[in-house]
């Protein structure tokens, strides 16, 4: 048989196999549950280019309007004193609020809060259209928080939004709205911490007239919500119990297989060793099967990745350019709605976005929703500020890569305030001499992090700078047609302040070089 004939027969057989076998069979086991296998991971271009996502960190814990961690703290007759790393001698504010408004947690517990979450003003399509207009390229839905309540239509767990509360598949409806607007879609899972976090529901008052009376979490008919009683030494952020870990795996696997999200976020370091590796390898493999062999999935957790996943930094930012794409997750205020809370400004969000992108990162921003599901006026104002800046300045954000250095100015000094979970603080002051850089092709973008009051001097672009060996051909300001006066001096690129600056605080200069 001739060589060409054999080749034709082989190709024909291969085409037949591809046509009859489902994609899941063809691409299964591309990733094995090992670190060595994960090293072949390649960051999807969509994520590297997207830069900005919006997150709905939302659920029944918003109902009391008291902010974060209500499901845990409503059971804390003695608050936790972080300064002493131990219990204080006073009740937590959420416990006091709960007793005053709902009754003692032995009678009215978190299970009774859940039916009060109706989400009656929630319009996912309207919100998604707004988020796209603001500039988000991906959207992330809460899947489940540490309260062990699922926002998806689970067949494994009755405590879910499709059967209780709003009686809607929240994850599914968010996903449908995101697809309609052309946004990538992700989900966050916070379940791994729930097994220890929620043990307060199995306690009892230590002081007062109800001392010793068990909370409703001790009623075993509700153990599927509050979890079984943890061993005395099982008190870390992630449970050590193998049964709990196995349950976690089945729950998150269901979430993956029902929605096939583009991004999956774990609110922890890499979870549960080999159990977590099984989850991530399955997540990567099913995504390749979905996409004809191309891996588009992003898994993110709060642990440096060495290229195997995306590192997430909560409430902070890295202090230098990372060789690997990474993500900040933060919120404009509390994670959950709280009456009268103070939000960051739209300008602070923009400054944070620019700083993160200059270091090879993405920003995932939680936009706080009311329990009913809409946005209050203060939040809409923040989004309006971002939405006015993005169209004019987005070419310096989307699809860009870091330059030789991420920036210059006072905010690059090593004495920066530290973030809550490592890195530097996400929200911090900037002045007009603080500059951030991004690149796209042969173009450099220089962001003046606060509105200049005089000439703009960029020392990294001076003729004698070791960072730049190119002569500058043109300098333009994004969002303005005014012709700029500038000069490349030995010590700096000096740009004369234009007679009229754009209305926003963060100003972007587009710099092209001579060939």
CA 507-512-514 angle, to 5 degrees, is 155
Measured distance between the N- and C-terminal CA atoms of the chain, rounded to whole angstroms: 57
Q: Which residues of the chain have pLDDT under 50?
A: 7, 9-28
Asked if 114 and 164 touch (Cβ cutoff 8 Å), the reply is yes
266 in helix, strand or coil?
strand
DSSP output for 175-194: HHHHHHTT-EEEEEE-GGGH
User: Is the separation of the CB atoms in 508 and 396 below 8 Å?
Assistant: yes
- pLDDT computed for residue 154 by the predictor: 98
For the packed helices 274-290 and 242-259, what is the interaxial angle rounded to 10 degrees?
A: 10
Q: Which residues pair with 211 in a beta bridge?
A: 205
- State the Cα torsion 289-295-301-305 to the nearest 10°: 130
Please name each of the domains of the chain with its CATH number: 35-314 (3.20.20.80), 407-513 (2.60.40.1180)
Residues found in the chain: 515
Judge if pTM exceeds 0.85: yes
Cβ atoms within 10 A of the Cβ of 178, count? Answer: 26
* Buried/exposed 309-331: b ≥16 CB within 10 Å, e otherwise: bbbbbbbbbbbebbebbbbbbbb
What pLDDT was estimated at residue 5?
52
């Amino acid at each position: 048989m001739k060589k060409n004939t054999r080749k034709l027969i082989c190709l024909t057989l291969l085409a037949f196999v591809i046509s009859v076998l489902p994609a899941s069979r063809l691409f299964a086991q591309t990733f094995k549950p090992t670190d060595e296998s994960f090293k072949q991971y390649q960051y999807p271009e969509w994520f590297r280019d997207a830069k900005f996502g919006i997150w709905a960190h939302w659920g029944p814990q918003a109902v009391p309007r008291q902010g974060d961690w209500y499901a845990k703290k409503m059971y804390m007759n003695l608050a936790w004193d972080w300064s002493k790393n131990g219990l204080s001698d006073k009740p937590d504010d959420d416990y006091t609020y709960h007793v005053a408004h709902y009754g003692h947690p032995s009678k009215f517990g978190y299970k009774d809060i859940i039916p009060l979450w109706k989400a009656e003003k929630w319009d996912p399509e309207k919100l998604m259209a707004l988020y796209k207009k603001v500039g988000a390229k991906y959207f992330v839905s809460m899947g489940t928080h540490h309260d062990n309540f699922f926002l998806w239509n689970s067949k494994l767990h009755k405590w879910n939004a499709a059967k209780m509360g709003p009686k809607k598949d929240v994850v599914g409806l968010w996903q449908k709205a995101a697809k309609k607007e052309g946004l990538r879609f992700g989900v966050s899972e916070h379940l791994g911490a729930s097994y220890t976090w929620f043990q307060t529901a199995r306690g009892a008052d230590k002081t007062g007239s109800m001392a010793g009376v068990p909370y409703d979490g001790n009623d075993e008919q509700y153990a599927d919500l509050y979890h079984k009683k943890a061993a005395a030494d099982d008190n870390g952020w992630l449970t050590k119990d193998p049964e709990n870990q196995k349950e976690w795996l089945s729950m998150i696997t269901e979430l993956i297989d029902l929605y096939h999200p583009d991004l999956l976020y774990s609110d922890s370091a890499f979870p549960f060793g080999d159990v977590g590796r099984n989850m991530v390898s399955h997540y990567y493999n099913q995504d390749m099967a979905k996409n004809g062999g191309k891996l588009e999935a992003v898994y993110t957790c709060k642990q440096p990745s060495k290229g195997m996943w995306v590192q997430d930094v909560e409430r902070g930012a890295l202090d230098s350019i990372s060789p690997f794409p990474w993500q900040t997750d933060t919120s404009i205020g509390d994670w959950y709605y709280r009456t009268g809370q103070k939000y960051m400004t739209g300008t602070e969000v923009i400054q944070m976005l620019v700083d993160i992108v200059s270091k090879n990162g993405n920003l995932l921003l939680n936009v706080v929703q009311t329990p009913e599901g809409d946005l209050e006026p203060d939040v809409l104002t923040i989004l309006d500020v971002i939405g006015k800046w993005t169209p004019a300045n987005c070419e310096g954000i989307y699809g860009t890569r870091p330059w030789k250095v991420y920036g210059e100015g006072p905010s690059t000094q090593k004495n920066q305030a530290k973030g809550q979970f490592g890195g530097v603080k996400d929200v911090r002051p900037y002045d007009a001499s603080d500059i951030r850089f991004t690149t796209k092709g042969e173009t450099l973008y220089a962001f003046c992090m606060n509105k200049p009051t005089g000439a703009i001097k960029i020392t990294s672009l001076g003729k004698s700078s070791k960072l730049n060996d190119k002569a500058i051909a043109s300098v333009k300001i994004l969002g303005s047609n005014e012709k700029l006066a500038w000069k490349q001096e030995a010590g700096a690129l000096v740009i004369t302040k234009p007679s009229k600056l754009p209305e926003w605080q963060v100003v972007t200069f587009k710099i092209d070089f001579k060939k």
